[in-house]
């Protein structure tokens, strides 16, 4: 019998409705619960996230040391360029994307409230041929 089950990733922010909308659109999620101070969503893959109102929330400052990295999320994607366009279109901003040396296998972004996350290229599951 499992004593502890995975719960919900909760991000504190000043505007939970606005941040929930960003992640709903990014993850093709649905809202599962909402109160004046908290909004919860569930992604198509079952990931549960909630956004809790904190009027004094301070956005993380990563990569600067002050206020550091409070939380970090990784999302696996098949096409970095396509999802990057979606993130920016939804109000996210790049923190660490690609440079002239060529594309990375991962790229860093901030959501509209400043929480950082990484888009990581999903590895193929089929074995290499040849």
Is 102 among the domain residues? yes
pLDDT at 21: 97
Is 4 among the domain residues? no
pLDDT at 100: 39
Q: How far apart are CA 49 and CA 27, in angstroms?
A: 10
pLDDT in tens, the chain (130 residues): 655 566 789 999 999 999 999 999 999 999 999 999 999 999 998 999 999 999 888 877 666 666 555 667 888 888 889 999 999 999 999 986 555 344 558 888 999 998 888 888 876 655 555 5
Is 59 among the domain residues? yes
How many structural domains compose the chain? 1
Q: Which two tokens stand for residue 111?
A: 């959501």
Is 16 among the domain residues? yes
Is 86 among the domain residues? yes
Is 130 among the domain residues? no
CATH code of the domain in which 33 resides = 3.10.180.10
Cis peptide before 13 (omega within 30 of 0): no
C-alpha angle with apex 16: 5 to 65, nearest 5 degrees?
A: 85
């Amino acid at each position: 019998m499992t004593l502890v089950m995975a719960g919900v990733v909760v991000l504190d922010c000043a505007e939970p409705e606005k941040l929930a909308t960003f992640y709903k659109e990014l993850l093709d999620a649905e809202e599962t619960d909402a109160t004046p101070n908290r909004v919860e969503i569930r992604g198509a893959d079952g990931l549960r996230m909630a956004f809790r109102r904190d009027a004094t929330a301070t956005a993380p400052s990563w990569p600067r040391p002050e206020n550091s990295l409070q939380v970090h999320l990784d999302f696996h994607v098949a096409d970095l360029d396509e999802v990057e366009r979606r993130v920016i279109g939804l109000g996210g901003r790049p923190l660490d994307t690609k440079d002239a040396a060529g594309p990375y296998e991962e790229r860093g972004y901030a959501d509209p409230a400043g929480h950082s996350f990484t888009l990581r290229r999903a590895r193929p599951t089929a074995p290499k041929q040849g």
